[in-house]
Structure 1
């Protein structure tokens, strides 16, 4: 079997590639970065290092990579492949969908349409919906849309594994090498898959996928974002150092308490499942073997302050479930004061806060009214951060 991986970043060329190779699936990469494509083709090989377990590392050989903008090559590779995995970033699903739509039109012209499936591997809510919508919009005639619907499944997975940079960059020999957490499990929504279900190790096509993706984002992403925003205010560089810090770890535990209650009461998530989910999440972010920077986790703070994203989304859900999410609100306050000179989004946030104020940000970005409970809790969080000495006024 052959598969396409769209996105040759840490998750694509690391975690997803490793899972496919372990199932004897031939892989070809497509990436938006010409530099990435050039480097992969020049090196032709790289190593997927397993954090804390170097003996489990995998050498990837005979690497092939193409530009995602090469629509003809994408169509040719699709003609030969049964599966496409995306690891491009959730916000890029509309653009990726347009690209896939164009490639599918070429398949139609060549009479090469066959049963295939696209699986999103994104930290995003409803990425498969965003992707499929963009594909169908690109296929702007009903006949093409109908052929696509009958022959192509668009499903989604939940990425639980972390991909990072090198623990010691000075020792890197091949810049294409990547480092991943020792966690080999990818759950996929079985209900959206067309045709025969592959019998693969580590990749589980599950029934009742339901709210698993939202559960993951509102547990893992919310908690690690909280760690990152708190850690940045405390001047801590690494995620694990922040998660284990005596000022932050108690806050992390409270975040999990609020998230657990919100998801159990607000979404009907099984209590035992959710408690185990949050336990595993904390173990992951406090693991010193996983070397990750808080700036990578906290980057693009404006997006992370969106109305359904990892802070505001669970905060509102908690309130509806009768929970007072004071610690999530505190993390949101920390996000509002996030600074990183190398992050354009963070610089824009600083500018908005200084020129427009907190109420403006919460109203325009987070879609919160000035007098609603969530806004009040966040403002209380800002005052608490000032009392802790973690921020000073509007600096």
Structure 2
């Protein structure tokens, strides 16, 4: 029996990666700290993925179990797994790293020569590499040598909107029909697994930034502008003609940066942008701007979806005015239920808009900082 460990039994873990692994013939062990979800997985041994789009469908996911990711039992599961995936959030990767390291140590102690591949399916650049660094920090030199030989950490990019829709069964999940899972082929150890829906990529950074500069950039700008205007869902936000115009222009500006950087075909990429915007219009997802916009400090940071497209476009002397409107909208994001939003507002209060943005984003171009501050003052 093939076994996969999915760290993170949340909506993405169940509705995207876990579902693909189960459909590929793996017994999927969900590892999480949420025992309500884990207990229900062990009780039901199945759940339903509801695909909500123009054409809706249902997928029943079976051959699953759950384990508390903080307990020793997870080490036993890792000992005979072929693949580990994560959907826990970038900040949690260092937290699960000790368990992953202990599992690899147990394999080494048993003399296992089976290959293990670990893929961090996070909204981050090279999440698997970041997890690898955290895991290796728990190794001796001998353990590092073993992992170098038998454990791969392929980086990937993931793309699927999985909103937190409340259903009668807490482990059922709603997703959109569209998804992408691009995984760096060269970083696998041993035979590359055959998983329907996993695209093997040889130029992963192009895929990562294509998704970051398009879906992530457009999605968060739609969320911040929609939240500012009081809309309850992303599809309501994008129906607003003013918001739609800004979002599309921002995605085209980030898109031109990608065209210059990677040599993308402009016409093909702009069609991809239109496809992404149409995903925002899906009324069945009922996606919340507060969910999409959460953790604004991370989203405004130098390597993420707002600052990175701006700095990349500026390298090619491309216009960035709509992207700057998106940054200003992010700075306006005042949500007392979001700790990063509260911290952001404190920074703005103490430092002013310009200096707060400079500190958070790493942008030092005075003209750009001044433009964002002006847009912030006069936004919409």
* TM-score bracket for the superposition, by shorter chain length: over 0.9
Corresponding residue for residue 237 of structure 2: 242
* Matched residue SS, 2:102: helix
| Residue 221 to residue 378, structure 1, CA distance change in 2 (3 Å) | same
**Residue 375 of structure 2 corresponds to residue 374 of structure 1:** no
- How far apart, CA to CA, are the structure 1 residues paired with 2:266 and 2:135? 37
Instruction: Kindly report the root-mean-square deviation, in angstroms, between the aligned alpha carbons of the 2 structures.
Output: 2.0
- How far apart, CA to CA, are the structure 1 residues paired with 2:223 and 2:56? 30
- How far apart, CA to CA, are the structure 2 residues paired with 1:245 and 1:57? 31
| Residue 357 to residue 55, structure 1, CA distance change in 2 (3 Å) | closer
- How far apart, CA to CA, are the structure 2 residues paired with 1:75 and 1:332? 43
The normalised TM-score by structure 1 is 0.90
Corresponding residue for residue 272 of structure 2: 277
**1:225-245: CA deviations, max 9, x gaps?**
000000011100101111121
**Residue 260 of structure 2 corresponds to residue 261 of structure 1:** no
Corresponding residue for residue 49 of structure 2: 48
- How far apart, CA to CA, are the structure 1 residues paired with 2:275 and 2:57? 21
Corresponding residue for residue 17 of structure 1: 18
* Matched residue SS, 1:365: helix
The normalised TM-score by structure 2 is 0.93
Please show how residues 1-395 of structure 1 align to structure 2 within 5 Å.
Answer: 1-52=2-53, 56-61=57-62, 63-70=64-71, 72-139=72-139, 141-166=140-165, 169=166, 172-369=167-364, 372-385=366-379, 388=380
| Structure 1 contact 197–205 (Cα < 8 Å) conserved | no
- How far apart, CA to CA, are the structure 1 residues paired with 2:327 and 2:309? 11
Instruction: Note the residue ranges of structure 1 that are not aligned, 5 or more in a row.
Output: 389-395
User: Which deviates more, 327-336 or 41-50?
Assistant: 41-50
User: Which deviates more, 129-138 or 222-231?
Assistant: 129-138
Instruction: Note the residue ranges of structure 2 that are not aligned, 5 or more in a row.
Output: none
* Matched residue SS, 1:186: strand
